[in-house]
Amino acid sequence: MREWRQFQTHNQIYMAGFLPLHRRLFWIFFVLCLYLFPETEGTENGSVALMLTDREKEWLKEHPVVRLGVDPDYPPFEFIDENGQYSGIAPEYLKLIGQKLGVKFEVVKGLTWTQVVEGVKTDSVDVIPVMTPTDERRKFVNFTSGYLLHHQVIITRKDYHRVEGLSDFKGRLLTVTKGYQTAQEVSEKYPGIKLLERETPLEELKAVSSGLADGCQGNMAGLGYLMQKHNLLNLKVAAPCVIGGSGAMAIAVRKDWPLLHSALDKALMSVPESARVTFRQKWVPGLEIAIAADRQSQGKKRVELNQEEREWITQHPVIRVVLDPDWAPVEFMDEDGEYHGMSLDYLSQLEELIGVKFEICKGLKWQEAISRVQQKEADMFVSVAKTAEREQFAVFTETYTTMPINIFARSDVSYVGNLRALHGKKVAVIGGYAIHDWLKRDYPEIELVPVQSIPIALGALERGKVYAFVGNVVTTSYYIGKFRKYDIRVAGETEYQNNQCMAVRNDWSILAGILQKGLDAISISEKDSIYNRWMAIKYEHGFNYSLLWKYSFIVALVLVAFIAWNWQLRLSVEAKTSELRHYQAHLENLVQERTQKLEKSMEEAQAANRSKSEFLANMSHEIRTPMNAVLGFAEILKTREINPQKLQYIDAIYTSGKALLSLINDILDLSKVEAGKLELQYSAVSLERLFDEINTIFAGKIQDKGVAFSMELASNIPETLLLDEVRVRQVLINLIGNAHKFTERGFIRLSASVNSLGSTVALTLTVTDSGIGIRKEQQDNIFGAFEQTKGQKVRQFGGTGLGLAISRRLVELMGGHLTVESEAGIGSTFTLNLPGVEVAAGDLEQRTGTPDFDHIIFEPVKVLVVDDIDFNRDILRTFLEGQEITIFEAEDGKTALAQTYKQHPDLILLDMRMPAMDGYEVAKRLRDDESMKDIPIIAVTASALKRDEEIISSLCDGYLRKPVSKNELIGELMKHLAFSETETTMQSFSDAVVSLSIDDLELLVNQLDVTLKERVVTLCMTGDIAKLEECLKAIENRPLRHHLEAQASQFNYQAILDLLRQETRPLIRRQGR
């Protein structure tokens, strides 16, 4: 800071002597120079000047390196040569584009084409330079304009019989490149053709040349290049091919980088035609001749019309068309009254293709042109956007060219961004254009100012009559260049674009069909040629010499004064400048050094965060693996042991294990939230049903302490809201669990209310208690990880200090706030606010009761259990005892494959992490085998990493996380195996309890959860048999459960009450005091 203050001081001393003496003289000269010699922006070699938005420039500055995914063997368009260099036509374009945009393109090496396509989906690849646009691919990439022509042909041997198209290959063998879009098209459109897949186009050609296949299909340039380079002299171009079309390949950009897509598109459009021809001639010398021949043939052939259409053309040989006189370069009228533009080129093509004469209705403004077609005094538009109003009097073809619509403003206006920023402002639009109708409909808050033409709109914008102008970027950029409006720039994007169609009067719908056939017959290469021809217009700007002479005398005087002044101050300026440079260099070094330290610190922090996440995930895996045995065998013993003392020990083991797992899950949740990797899953949620579940969990426990528990739902709460039910329930359980822990008397209340905000609501959930409260100075600390209230007795209250930390982070992740108001000794109120919650429109998911897994009987099947740890296999085998399931075991991946091929099991329980060959490799091999791919595979894993879950879901049919419980295992098997549900008979009940004495039963009852015991007593007293049977299923000790179920099935409620009330009477008395 000391150096910076010295730099400022010296700079101020220098400027104090510099400005006051000659300020006026200097600025007069400077302004005159700007006025007399304005900056111009021309183009070179026919290229179009780039008009990047501020957002695009900023994005490119932040992303100086762009990763390319390339096809290593797709010459001459792109390939990796013998020296490992990226070569072909596409690299020539990218070199020029990189210079224009100031970015560096780097090839991700070692990828096949299939890996390239997957890479752009997973963001490991940013750009694919050469790709054919399809609707399927547009789901994961954005395409630029087409720039590489590909004429599709069929290749056969020279001695092969004559073919006209792919239909001649029915029953014959055609080679295709694996992963290419055309391979799928051939399969779908020509199911009778046998396909032979090869990894590269060169392997395709070699298969045909050797006689292994009858032919192959691909683009003429690429296959021709390979045939010539590898001396495949026995091959020929046999026929054109309709698959893949004769169009243009484009640059594909990852979907989440729209600013790079728009910048690349602009840069690509700016490449001059001369450069394009040079690139093609360098790599495919014969291609220009082929393109010229294609264009010539396109111009000569006629569209095939049916009888009705031919008769209509004969009766209507002349079609009257209307054009917009001020919409260059699409269509416009020059000073001599002649019309030009892309529309005229299309009309010229269509005259040859459909055999009609187009007559232009001259001298009409656009509004007059629309009126002529409405009144049927003219017949058709050449370039017009479809709107609901226009569809009332015109019939439209399909879109044949598209132009984005942008917001334009003066350069002194900050970046606008989108149309919402124009609310309440005057905005110019062209009256009668589609954008005028769209803005009136969608943005009534904008004050629209209709004008007759784009030049008038730009003039109004320049003079400040309007704040902005909304129009398509192609025609607006044309007029900005033509009239030198360089103080106007692109200031924002819109969601609209001009999808230009042709349209005819509504009583001539047959003409629309004829025009569509004509447009379809114009090749994509010819359409691109028309577009590029008009986009490459170069302006010659004249100079106003009268203006020069007018001010020459004034300029001469200013120059003389300036020279004299400069001579006097030159020595002092040089001295001051040298001193300033010294301090500036020193300051820049300091800034650079501190910036590097900051970047290093950020990288170290990110690396530490990644290491922490990996450590926690691995820790979870290592703990879950032994816990699988602890909890698994404890669960088995709980159902088999009847000795109360031993049951108490087993229950302690099981409860402690569950507590440890809960702690691990809390730590993992906290880690995911902090790393930003926890994903929310929204669905329709009923708060009433959620509150019922909370009541089931807590009501008995809270009332057991003599504390009143109540819940309140406001009457205006919608039936369902769009929430992450799991996370909302997790937060409420944490809050009510804390209230239960710290409240010894009084009450606990859960309430919900909403405030309507139109289509959304602001949801407020509160948990209020009359517990010990929290002192003011501690309230900011309780939401920290591992924080507990100061003075809290850990032995008395327990807990890890993670519940509130996780709850607050979860609420913030959902866009809300979690706050607390508390007073020591009085109680606490925790408030959860979720603004902007959407009201769910769908039906609420119906939930079914939990099945009684003890009564599930599977049909006889064979199951393979694969795990490298013996006791893990023992647990799964024991869980399935009593079922007609034949168990086979394998301790590693290789043995698992051998057992699978030998036994052909009906289902596989597969551990995913094993030495040598792991479960992932086993699953992949089975999925690749046609005879084994239909066997259901259930992954059994201790992994906590989400990426592992995603891989497992792609390979396996089900998923079980260790430690696995019996109910989880049975529930998962029920999804894949046939089963039946049996009703337990009275005999089975008697058999189950025959060895239990009254003393044993009383001891078992003492081990029951108090809340569950109270629930059974209540249901016995009300006689609700259905709910009683459901409640008894929750008793984990099988002999006791079967005894009570037997009594309930005979309606012997008094026997159940007599048995249970031995322990519940004291509790009821305590509640009554």
pLDDT tens for 853-863 read 778 899 999 99
- Residue 614 is predicted with a pLDDT of 63
Tokens 């954005």, residue located: 142
CB atoms within 10 A of CB 172: 13
Distance (Å, rounded) from C-alpha 955 to C-alpha 83?
38
Q: Does residue 450 surpass a pLDDT of 60?
A: yes
Domain ranges of the chain: 48-143+250-285, 152-245, 300-535, 679-838, 853-977, 986-1072
- Residue 959 is predicted with a pLDDT of 85
Section 1010-1022 average pLDDT: 77
- Residue 937 is predicted with a pLDDT of 95
- Residue 697 is predicted with a pLDDT of 76
Say if residue 865 is exposed, middle or buried (CB neighbours under 10 Å; 0-12, 13-18, 19+).
Answer: buried
Q: Which residue has the higher pLDDT, 636 or 296?
A: 636
CATH number of this structure's domain 152-245: 3.40.190.10
Q: Does residue 290 surpass a pLDDT of 80?
A: no
Q: Which residue has the higher pLDDT, 443 or 539?
A: 443
- Residue 675 is predicted with a pLDDT of 59
Section 176-191 average pLDDT: 83
CATH number of this structure's domain 48-143+250-285: 3.40.190.10
| pTM for the model | 0.37
- Residue 445 is predicted with a pLDDT of 94
The CATH T-level fold of domain 853-977 is Rossmann fold (3.40.50)
Residue 715: pLDDT band with limits 50, 70, 90: confident
Q: Does residue 149 surpass a pLDDT of 80?
A: no
Choose the weakest-confidence range: 37-46, 83-92, 236-245, 555-564: 37-46
The secondary element (H helix, E strand) that includes residue 260 is: helix 258-269
Rg for the chain, CA atoms, rounded: 39
* Highest mean pLDDT pick, 260-274, 912-926, 971-985: 912-926
Q: Which CATH superfamily is domain 300-535 in?
A: Periplasmic binding protein-like II (3.40.190.10)
* Highest mean pLDDT pick, 59-63, 571-575, 755-759, 1036-1040: 59-63
The alpha carbon of residue 166 and the mean position of all alpha carbons in its chain are separated, in whole angstroms, by 38
Beta bridge partners of 6: none
Q: Does residue 823 surpass a pLDDT of 70?
A: yes
Percentage above 70 pLDDT, the chain = 77
Sign, CA dihedral 71-76-77-83, equals positive
Structural class in CATH, domain 679-838: alpha beta
Choose the weakest-confidence range: 14-18, 22-26, 694-698, 845-849: 14-18
3-state secondary structure at position 44: coil
Please state whether beta strands 683-685 and 721-723 pair in parallel, antiparallel, or not at all (unpaired).
antiparallel
Q: Which residue has the higher pLDDT, 585 or 849?
A: 585
- Residue 484 is predicted with a pLDDT of 81
Choose the weakest-confidence range: 216-230, 524-538, 860-874: 524-538
Q: Does residue 66 surpass a pLDDT of 90?
A: yes
Distance (Å, rounded) from C-alpha 268 to C-alpha 486?
22
Q: Please determine whether the domains at 48-143+250-285 and 679-838 fall in the same fold group of CATH.
A: no
- Residue 552 is predicted with a pLDDT of 59
Q: What does the mean pLDDT of the chain come to?
A: 79
Residue 254: pLDDT band with limits 50, 70, 90: very high
- Residue 1024 is predicted with a pLDDT of 67
pLDDT in tens, 466-501: 999 999 888 888 888 888 887 888 888 888 888 889
pLDDT in tens, 772-785: 888 887 777 787 65
Please check whether residue 975 is in contact with residue 907, taking contact to mean a CB–CB distance below 8 angstroms.
no
- Residue 617 is predicted with a pLDDT of 60
Contacts of 496 (CB under 8 A, 6+ apart): 405, 435, 438
Choose the weakest-confidence range: 343-357, 540-554, 831-845, 944-958: 540-554
